[in-house]
Structure 1
Amino acid sequence: MSQLQNIEAIEKRLWSAADLLRANSGLASNEYFMPVMGLIFLRHAYSRFLAVKPQIETGLPSRGGKVRALTKEDFSQQGAIFLRPEAQFDHLVSLPDSADRAAAIIAAMEGIEADYAALRGVLPKADYQKIGNEDLGELLRKLNPEELKTASGDIFGRIYEYFLTQFADQGAHDGGEFFTPISIVQMIANLIEPERGSVLDPACGSGGMFVQSANLVERNHGDPSKALTFWGMEKNATTIKLAQMNLAVHGLQGNIAEAISYYSDPHELLGKADYVMANPPFNVDEVDAEKVRNDPRLPFGLPGVNKAGKVSNGNYLWISYFYSYLSAQGRAGFVMSSQASSAGRDEAKVRQKLVETGDVDVMVAIRGNFFYTRTVPCELWFFDKAKPAQHRDHVLMLDARNVYRKVTRKIYDFSPEQLANLTSIVWLYRGQQGRFLALVREHLLACIQAALASQAPLREAHGAMAAWANLLRSPLQEGDALTAQVALDEAVAQFNRDFAAFNTQVNALAADGIPDGAGNTELHEAAARLAPLADASRDLVKAVDHLYKLAGHALDAKQGDANSRDLNRQRKAADEARRAAVDALKPVRYFHRQALWLQERFPEAELRDVPGLVKRVSRAEIEANDWSLTPGRYVGVAPEEVDEDFDFEAALRDIHVELTGLNEEAVSLAARIARNFEELGA
């Protein structure tokens, strides 16, 4: 999570490096778009290469004391691509100024294309020679910060998305609708659960749906390159290359056709796709009605035609296409404008027919700010043509708008635990109680593990605070300094007692454990046993912060002392130790609360209606509500909850960060306006 919290600063730094090309190369944004994305591809590929290489090397066979050389097959099995030495990013970064960096980058791309036939003619090579050698060197170095050398795939997904969006904002692309946030894609993958067969995305953009499908298969210990076949359609040739690069960097291949999905079905998958996943463009109103009127992919007819002979809104074209592509056992999950679920007139007629099939499975409402380029809320639709008989006359309505975490001041997503909790509600709907209980147990075990892991940072914080207090104690204090010192000594003694009690609790609970396959009653009892530990972790966070503040007061009262330099040095060490201890303690309560979130809403580990969150809605009720599929219309309003962990100081820090960001944007906007006036000769 800490990486995600820092992502905004990393993104801006990387973008400022890439944006140098606009000023120094003479290339327009639509010209340096692909060279920059090519380098981001190499950087991403290298990180994945390094991540899996040690594991591969450990398992390599040897003969006569000689270990077999690495092969591209080794990396494909680990969801990565093999990189020759000359294609590895560190090699490119280390090139001296005398080297021809453009030629080296092109050679790196050609080496990868030689090893991977699916990438031949895909990787960018044409424009690197137009960029100065020094500029390329600086760009390579700035795209290689320490944070990215150990970054996770989520971090790169965000960076990839950010770059795509920034280029879209500059007119290098067509609207930024080609990347779906990872949280959204993961939820779609979690609910349709692709296992084996064909995955179709008729609006595939940069291929994120395919990547997350593959990740899910890997998490279930399968080989996605053997289990899944990826089929995509995309109208823009440049975006197709981005998708192929995105697939390749994860060790995958796909069949992506250049096509306008409204008018053509190049893969001829009508009624054949096992899974359909998509995030199509919303509210398109320029589709020629005559061209699609007799399309076999529209089993429910046209959703409405305007006076200009255009389909009034393309949303229900997409919805119909996704439905018609499914095989008799197929599942679909896709993003759709929140307007679509309650749209009236001809669209409502199509929706009625769709609901009457019994194949609409789940509807999920998502709050705004999950997308970089769209601040409006959206909804996820799920179809299941093999839906069990007991559900055919019902739709699960899930309102997830109150579930989110704030990544930056502009962007929200789901934490892994929030995503798992939302997914587990659908497990209950599908009668998979065992998976629900296993998740509750996982949260509770994570609580215990976090508590165990916090012991070392707490000891460090205790030692740093004690050392600081000892420095403050000498020489003998008097007046305000003495008062501050006494308060500090009392706080240190109390912290020692609290720390010892916490450790005793942790070790006892760790020894008890939670048995595998624990039932609902056992898990409720385990959560109750862990509640004091979770509360103690919260109290220790407050205690260590309070201790640091008291030591600060003692230092302020003592300033001017000859040892102030040593004191300030110790203060910095104590602050670092405090932060580490707080970061280690917070997950203890966090994981316990994730388990409680589920247990409080579903105490019997069975699906039930929860106001403001979920309701299993009958077809009769949907009909009575004009065939609306908007979750909020059915689930009601959740009771207001008091946040016991509200941190006023953290809220103030967030406000300060937001204000700083707005000020930075204002300065940037003013500079851009001034530059535009200069270009106009004003």
Structure 2
Amino acid sequence: MQKSEQEFLSELDKSLWNAADRLRANLDAAEYKHVVLGLIFLKYVSDSFDERRSELERQFRDKDHEYYLGEDEELIHQELETRDFYTEKNVFWVPALARWKTIQDNATLPPGTKIQIKNGKTTEYEFRSINKLIDDALEKIESENDKLKNVLEKRYAQRGVDSSVLIGIINNVVGKIPFQHASLHAKDILGHVYEYFLGQFALAEGKKGGQYYTPKSIVTLIVEMLQPFKGRVYDPAMGSGGFFVQSERFIEEHKGRLGNISVYGQESNPTTWRLAAMNMAIRGIDFNFGKGPANTYSNDQHPDLRADFVMANPPFNMKEWKAGVKDEDPRWKFGIPPENNANFAWLQHMFYHLAPNGSLGLLLANGSMSSNTNNEGEIRKKLLTKDHIECMVALPGQLFTNTQIPACIWFLTQNKNARDTASGRKLRDRSGEVLFIDARNLGYMKDRVVRDFTSEDIKKIVSTYHNWQEGKDYENIAAFCYAAQLEEIAKHDFVLTPGRYVGAAEQEEDGEPFEEKMQRLTGQLKTQFEEGVKLEGEIRKNLAGLGYEL
């Protein structure tokens, strides 16, 4: 991204969030999130509709264009309300009641006012409150667009948001989002704002926010390592859909076609499921999130899916997960996961859904790399002996807003044999080998509580992994990376903690002989002791002058 674009988005982030935060009043972040994000979505689909409408009007008035309609204003107006002109360009059809201008112009009307809505024909709408108007607008959009069925959060009246707060958000926050920029597309601006607000709400909500938000740098790292260039992409704990968004960016940056991937996801939380669907809709990504929100363990929405790429950040160490799940479930190919920890249930569920050449990246708590309780050690051993574990990455602490639990990334594959990838890379045969990367010393403190990766950190990890896979320019680096054979891992009782394998960094020799160094250091210590005695004498003297004695 160009510097001017970064500066534009950074200033936009700051001004929008400050305005939004001032208007929060008595709403907690969990409620406020849906209020703001729903309005952002409404503004975006309306602006996209208006942009297409302006384009059509220019064409209808252009004598050289095939759509030219002459000077007939009534005909032009009727044609501007023709639904097919919008849907053919993948623009959502927005009924007149739901257009942003209608909402913004009528937000402060007194209850009972009759609004005249003109869209080819004139209809009357009774304004009861701005909350009800927004609910009705979202209902209209949903009923007119099949992709949005049961997706939008139509509960503004039910939430009882103060109308002055809502009007403030409409006029001073969402209404100020500029979807026009010299080099950024409207969906890029909207997507950035949407993602930024998700992150800010995650910080505000603490643990609750972390249920749906994965730090962007971690998502980027996993996507860059797996390179989902073509095929089916699946996230069984999708939250707001961050892995899908980053996959889209990866494809665009590498000059690929977004149509080359198909997106599958699952989420149990109804409001978060809707957030993810909205996130896809604003970016024009086709998605299959099942029939609705559902529990991944007991109600798999994609039982026959075999995905080329599986990526997820499920809740760490989830305890009560096994209700309605049988021990003989075909997903438990490597062993029955313990009832009090879902880590290896997630891992095996994801592996079960891999295609023959598929790969997965999974965030888990560090305990998953070494725990031997309740069959976890046996599951890990079988995954290793069957040669499906490809890479383990230990992460630094404080990367997550919702937990301080140390985390790692597991990378598994169905096939370690030599092959060509969809992105054009040639993988060597990695059979019997696992790469360990210790990234705990990477990153920087973004603020007082949250650590983040730089782009250089991500490049270092990704290039190490890819070079090892391809067998070029790779070498073990003490305290950072090490390629271990399965026999070596077996000697460590199949524990997968990278620190066990990468070793410690070599200390640089300073060239000073040991005897001379010891003599110098003991001399410095003696001097410091003497200084300490002098200081103690001075302190005693000063205290005595004040009438005190040690």
> Where do 1:264-663 residues align within 5 Å?
264-269=299-304, 272-288=306-322, 291-304=325-338, 311-345=339-373, 346-388=375-417, 390-431=429-470, 606-638=473-505
1:252 match: 285
CA distance in 1 between counterparts of 2:24 and 2:228 reads 39
The amino acid that maps onto 2:383 is L
1:105 match: 134
2:173 match: 143
* 2:204 equivalent among 146, 166, 170: 166
Is contact 2:243–2:311 with CA below 8 Å preserved after alignment? yes
Stretches of structure 2 lacking an aligned partner (at least 5 in a row): 1-5, 68-79, 111-126, 182-188, 419-428, 509-550
CA distance in 2 between counterparts of 1:15 and 1:339 reads 39
**Is the alpha carbon distance of 1:623 and 1:327 closer, same or farther for their aligned partners in structure 2, counting shifts above 3 Å?**
same
Cα drift, residue 350 of structure 1:
0.8
TM-score, structure 1 length as denominator? 0.58
Cα drift, residue 359 of structure 1:
1.7
The amino acid that maps onto 1:161 is G
Cα distance per residue 1:477-496 (max 9 Å; x no partner): xxxxxxxxxxxxxxxxxxxx
**Is the alpha carbon distance of 1:637 and 1:39 closer, same or farther for their aligned partners in structure 2, counting shifts above 3 Å?**
farther
2:230 match: 196
1:563 match: none
Cα drift, residue 7 of structure 1:
9.0
CA distance in 2 between counterparts of 1:611 and 1:152 reads 43
Cα drift, residue 333 of structure 1:
1.0
1:242 match: 275
- Backbone CA RMSD of aligned residues: 3.8
1:42 aligns with 2:28: no
The amino acid that maps onto 1:319 is L
TM-score, structure 2 length as denominator? 0.70
The amino acid that maps onto 1:160 is L
| Matched residue SS, 2:224 | helix
* 1:206 equivalent among 233, 240, 250: 240
State the identity as a percent.
Answer: 29
| Matched residue SS, 2:474 | coil
| Matched residue SS, 2:289 | strand
**Is the alpha carbon distance of 1:630 and 1:379 closer, same or farther for their aligned partners in structure 2, counting shifts above 3 Å?**
same
Cα distance per residue 1:257-280 (max 9 Å; x no partner): 33222223232136x222211111
**Is the alpha carbon distance of 1:242 and 1:290 closer, same or farther for their aligned partners in structure 2, counting shifts above 3 Å?**
closer
Cα distance per residue 1:548-583 (max 9 Å; x no partner): xxxxxxxxxxxxxxxxxxxxxxxxxxxxxxxxxxxx
Stretches of structure 1 lacking an aligned partner (at least 5 in a row): 23-27, 305-310, 434-605, 642-682
2:254 match: 220
2:150 match: 121
More helix by share: 1
Is contact 1:43–1:143 with CA below 8 Å preserved after alignment? no
Is contact 1:198–1:229 with CA below 8 Å preserved after alignment? yes
Cα drift, residue 398 of structure 1:
1.6
1:450 match: none
CA distance in 1 between counterparts of 2:11 and 2:444 reads 14
Is contact 2:363–2:408 with CA below 8 Å preserved after alignment? yes
| Matched residue SS, 2:336 | coil
Cα drift, residue 85 of structure 1:
8.0
Cα drift, residue 119 of structure 1:
0.9
Cα distance per residue 1:452-479 (max 9 Å; x no partner): xxxxxxxxxxxxxxxxxxxxxxxxxxxx
**Is the alpha carbon distance of 1:118 and 1:8 closer, same or farther for their aligned partners in structure 2, counting shifts above 3 Å?**
closer
**Is the alpha carbon distance of 1:155 and 1:131 closer, same or farther for their aligned partners in structure 2, counting shifts above 3 Å?**
closer
| Matched residue SS, 1:212 | helix
The amino acid that maps onto 1:313 is N
Cα drift, residue 144 of structure 1:
3.7
**Please, which moves more after superposition, 155-164 or 203-212?**
155-164
Is contact 2:23–2:168 with CA below 8 Å preserved after alignment? no
CA distance in 2 between counterparts of 1:419 and 1:365 reads 13
